[in-house]
Chain A
Amino acid sequence: MANKPATESIDPATTKMLLEARRAGLETAWDRFNKQQPQCGFGLLGICCRNCNMGPCRIDPFGEGPDKGVCGATADIIVARNLLRMIAAGAAAHADHARDAVIVFKEASEGRARSYQIRDEAKLRALAAEYNISSWGEGGGAADLANALLSDFGRQQGSVMLTHRAPEKRQRIWEKLGIIPRGIDREIVECMHRTNMGVDNDPLHILLQGLRTSIADGWGASMIATEVQDILFGTPSPKRSEANLGVLREDEVNIIVHGHEPILSEMIVEAASDPEMIRLAEKLGAKGINVAGICCTGNEVLMRHGIPVAGNFLQQELAVITGAVEAMVVDVQCVMPSLGSLAACYHTKFISTSPKAEFPGALRMEFSEERAAEMAREIVRTAVENYRNRDKSRVIIPREKSECMVGFSVEAILNALGGSPQPLIDAVVNGSIKGIAAVVGCNNPKVQHDSGHINLVRELIRNNVLVVTTGCNAIACAKAGLLRPEAAAEAGDGLRGVCESLGVPPVLHMGSCVDISRILVVAAAIANRLGVDISDLPVAGAAPEWMSEKAVSIGAYVVASGVYTVLGTVPPVLGSPVVTRILTKDLGDAVGATFAVEPDPFKAARLIIEHIESRRKGLGLKV
């Protein structure tokens, strides 16, 4: 039953750096993954429970041993509760990220966080109108909006405001099921309460709360994060950049920003272009200062400033192993605690910045709204001064990097289409675009690095399915050259024609993981235009290499929004026949979409295409 040792990567830069890691005797996630084999069967099936101290309890999946926990919880109950806790944790991560963005926005609008300004006034006004803020005057509007946004988190009654962005039919479905989220934090708290020993013990009832919480994430927390970040840092528009470890420079100070929040990294990007800092770098023998990103912090600065991206989740350790990184600056989420000991083998300073996230071996330079720009300068200075300590004989930067075109916010897509979604809808209706697939998510050593992403995306565009992407899938696509307009040559004839006439790639990078909210907005706009629900559209979602609890929350809100979703790694639910049935079948009746699990990317593409074709038939479009 042992998982086979991880097959490492299809990305040549990654393969090279792994060779170097082995040569240097350094351990990476792949090594640790192999040491974990075989992974515990109870955990893989989701049938262990530690929710109270009568336990831990586990259920024998093969029917010989215990079939209930001490309290009487069956495998179905245990799996459902565990899944709900995963959703709660994922939604909490997005909620907390969003809250911090709103707080910075509030401080900025009240004049305290002086490092920040309003960059997208139009978006600010539009969002304020959605929140019924009429008192527009001397900065009053922005501060009122900030307070209104904050009240979405702690709201006890009514509904999270932006759920109104969903198509009317969708909102009615949620209403009927009783899953319109009240307040973002309230739903998360309720998950923790319900899964406490002896509270909610009906799998379906538990999972409905999971959907409600996930909607609070997708149409609440994540959407707020996207909106506020656009207001503060600008709404992304198309720009060109580069991706993969080859963006690190041999003769410059390299600073990596990694994690998820653009709040500090925006300041770092600014500080790194300060002439005084550049002069300091030059004085120390460097040709300049190069900022590069990893994970979603990387996506945020890539989308808004064209800052190159050094890699996705599984490449964070490899970036350090290049020996060319002066500072690895991290905030929150997806940051491996292994980085501290790894950085200690090099001159690299591993700098942690979030008040919430401390790591062993990290140099702590804590962020605060009031001192953001100052802090960023200090961090950049620390990196620049560290250039002296670089051991040039140990520098190995792989040559691989690919060009990419990024920055496809909803506004940018509409702009490319000439101001209205109609041309896109026409292309779908006439069949040149068969449908749209959102391919998103992490890396996971259970899957050969990037192969799940790239094989699925290639297969989809070849079949005229337009791909929209965020997160680590987007970075994988960037590295594989799929975010270049020229990649249209790899697409089927119909999609190729559309891309070539618009000058866009067949895979549109829409941002970080919280920006999946942008995808929801596009889906809602198309559905409204056609007068149907999202679940009627020829669209699908996929997370081929997902690993994070955040991905569980995302998967849940995508399905709750009516989008059929294919997962590439198996979620810990198969120990419960009931939960498995609900997720893969019953949800179809309830919300018009289900989950499927398919580790083989080619088969996953088939499932998606079949689904898209069935929806085309439903809409009376030619298949």
Chain B
Amino acid sequence: MKEILVRPERCMGCRSCEIACAVEHSVSRDLFRALSEMPQKRLYVEHVPEYSLAVPILCRHCEDAPCVAVCPTGALTQDALTGVVRHNRDVCIGCWTCASVCTYGVIGRDRRARVAIKCDRCPELDVPACVSACPTRALIYGVVEDLSEARRAASALKLARGVAASR
């Protein structure tokens, strides 16, 4: 199962991911044409002033998703296969229960329809729009196990270097 994984140390705060997300959710799916549609983004590049850092925050599609658990209308469901948390705007009543329990605060408000709006992991794309837009690969689309494996290998290498040096 693939996830969007964030490597915050690489984020430059350029907001290309936000633009790409908004455009992908426009009718025209074209930057220039989307200008007249004013589509909404579904992820947020947050600024952390204490550290002068930008951190992209987006729906984690939690395996045990609290928003899905609390939604009274069944507007939020989780795909059994992909784990993607989907939102059905036709049955959403805009009660914001989901928003109150979302740990990441990534349930937004649709400016026009007055219902929730959230990341849908770009169902029509092989690679989500935000991931392909990120110029520094701060966002990656991959399997958690692979990321962890790479991280393990990197720490093992560091450790091994230390051991070798102290021999």
Chain A contact residues, CB within 8 Å of chain B: 1-2, 37-38, 40-42, 44-45, 58, 60-65, 570, 574-575
Known: A1-B20, A1-B24. A41 touches B38 (CB 8 A): no
Other-chain residue from A41, A63, A574 in contact with B23 (beta carbon distance below 8 A): A41
Q: Is the CB of B41 within 8 A of A1?
A: no
Cβ-based interface call for B113 (8 A): no
Other-chain residue from B15, B19, B20, B35 in contact with A574 (beta carbon distance below 8 A): B35
Stretch binding the partner chain, chosen from B92-100, B127-135, B154-162:
B127-135
A130 to chain B, nearest CB (A): 44
Q: Is the CB of B133 within 8 A of A63?
A: no
Cβ-based interface call for B14 (8 A): yes
| Cβ-closest chain B residue relative to A36 | B135
Q: Is the CB of B16 within 8 A of A41?
A: yes
Q: What string of 1s and 0s marks CB contacts (under 8 Å) between B28-42 and chain A?
A: 011110110011110
Q: Is the CB of B30 within 8 A of A65?
A: no
Inter-chain CA distance A60–B14, complex, in Å, is 11
Cβ-based interface call for B139 (8 A): no
Known: A1-B29, A574-B32, A574-B35. A41 touches B40 (CB 8 A): no
Q: Is the CB of A1 within 8 A of B35?
A: no
Other-chain residue from A1, A61, A570 in contact with B129 (beta carbon distance below 8 A): A1
A366 to chain B, nearest CB (A): 37
Q: Is the CB of A42 within 8 A of B132?
A: no
User: How many pairs of A and B residues are in contact by the CB < 8 Å rule?
Assistant: 58
Cβ-based interface call for B22 (8 A): yes
Other-chain residue from B15, B23, B29, B39 in contact with A58 (beta carbon distance below 8 A): B15
Q: Can you list 17 A-B pairs, Cβ within 8 angstroms, ordered by A?
A: A1-B20, A1-B34, A2-B129, A38-B16, A40-B135, A41-B20, A42-B14, A42-B19, A44-B31, A45-B35, A58-B15, A61-B19, A62-B19, A62-B34, A63-B38, A65-B18, A570-B32
| Cβ-closest chain B residue relative to A38 | B133
Q: What string of 1s and 0s marks CB contacts (under 8 Å) between B113-143 and chain A?
A: 0000000000000000100110100000000
B130 to chain A, nearest CB (A): 10
Which of chain B's residues have a CB closer than 8 A to the CB of A63?
A: 38
Interface size class of B (residues with CB under 8 A): 20 to 34
Q: Is the CB of A38 within 8 A of B32?
A: no
Which of chain A's residues have a CB closer than 8 A to the CB of B15?
A: 42, 58, 60, 65
Inter-chain CA distance A60–B132, complex, in Å, is 19
A236 to chain B, nearest CB (A): 40
Other-chain residue from B14, B18, B40, B133 in contact with A2 (beta carbon distance below 8 A): B133
Inter-chain CA distance A42–B18, complex, in Å, is 11
Other-chain residue from B14, B38, B40, B133 in contact with A1 (beta carbon distance below 8 A): B133
Q: What string of 1s and 0s marks CB contacts (under 8 Å) between B53-64 and chain A?
A: 000000000000
Q: Which 9 A-B pairs have the closest CB atoms?
A: A41-B19, A1-B23, A62-B22, A1-B31, A1-B20, A38-B133, A574-B32, A62-B38, A41-B31
| Cβ-closest chain A residue relative to B39 | A62
Q: What is the interface of chain A mostly: helix, strand, loop, or mixed?
A: loop
Inter-chain CA distance A148–B20, complex, in Å, is 54
Which of chain B's residues have a CB closer than 8 A to the CB of A38?
A: 16, 20, 132-133
Segment 1-28 of B: residues with Cβ below 8 Å from A: 14-16, 18-20, 22-24
A413 to chain B, nearest CB (A): 38
Inter-chain CA distance A447–B147, complex, in Å, is 38
Which of chain A's residues have a CB closer than 8 A to the CB of B18?
A: 60, 65
Q: What is the interface of chain B mostly: helix, strand, loop, or mixed?
A: helix
Chain B contact residues, CB within 8 Å of chain A: 14-16, 18-20, 22-24, 29-32, 34-35, 38-41, 129, 132-133, 135
Which of chain B's residues have a CB closer than 8 A to the CB of A41?
A: 16, 19-20, 23, 31
A138 to chain B, nearest CB (A): 61
Most buried by B among A37, A44, A61, A570: A61
Most buried by B among A38, A40, A60, A575: A38
Q: Is the CB of B16 within 8 A of A61?
A: no
| Cβ-closest chain B residue relative to A2 | B132
Which of chain A's residues have a CB closer than 8 A to the CB of B16?
A: 38, 40-42
Most buried by B among A62, A63, A570, A574: A62
| Cβ-closest chain B residue relative to A580 | B35
B105 to chain A, nearest CB (A): 15
Inter-chain CA distance A294–B14, complex, in Å, is 37
Other-chain residue from A37, A45, A58, A64 in contact with B31 (beta carbon distance below 8 A): A45
Apart from the given pairs A1-B19, A62-B22, A570-B32, 20 other A-B contacts in the complex at a CB distance below 8 Å = A1-B23, A1-B31, A1-B34, A2-B20, A2-B133, A37-B132, A40-B14, A40-B19, A41-B19, A41-B23, A41-B31, A42-B14, A44-B31, A44-B32, A61-B19, A62-B34, A62-B38, A62-B41, A63-B38, A64-B41
Inter-chain CA distance A575–B16, complex, in Å, is 15
B27 to chain A, nearest CB (A): 13
Most buried by A among B19, B24, B40: B19
A24 to chain B, nearest CB (A): 27
Which of chain B's residues have a CB closer than 8 A to the CB of A65?
A: 15, 18
Which of chain A's residues have a CB closer than 8 A to the CB of B135?
A: 40
| Cβ-closest chain B residue relative to A61 | B35
A250 to chain B, nearest CB (A): 43
Inter-chain CA distance A60–B34, complex, in Å, is 13
Q: Is the CB of B40 within 8 A of A64?
A: yes
Which of chain B's residues have a CB closer than 8 A to the CB of A61?
A: 19, 35
Inter-chain CA distance A323–B30, complex, in Å, is 41
B82 to chain A, nearest CB (A): 22
Which of chain A's residues have a CB closer than 8 A to the CB of B23?
A: 1, 41
Inter-chain CA distance A40–B17, complex, in Å, is 9
Which of chain A's residues have a CB closer than 8 A to the CB of B38?
A: 62-63
A580 to chain B, nearest CB (A): 9
Which of chain B's residues have a CB closer than 8 A to the CB of A575?
A: 35
| Cβ-closest chain B residue relative to A66 | B15
| Cβ-closest chain B residue relative to A63 | B38
Inter-chain CA distance A2–B125, complex, in Å, is 11
Inter-chain CA distance A65–B19, complex, in Å, is 11
A399 to chain B, nearest CB (A): 39
Most buried by A among B15, B29, B38: B15
Inter-chain CA distance A575–B20, complex, in Å, is 15
Which of chain B's residues have a CB closer than 8 A to the CB of A2?
A: 20, 129, 132-133
Inter-chain CA distance A63–B18, complex, in Å, is 12
Inter-chain CA distance A194–B37, complex, in Å, is 33
Inter-chain CA distance A40–B22, complex, in Å, is 13
Which of chain A's residues have a CB closer than 8 A to the CB of B29?
A: 1
Inter-chain CA distance A65–B14, complex, in Å, is 13
Inter-chain CA distance A62–B25, complex, in Å, is 12
A125 to chain B, nearest CB (A): 51
B41 to chain A, nearest CB (A): 7
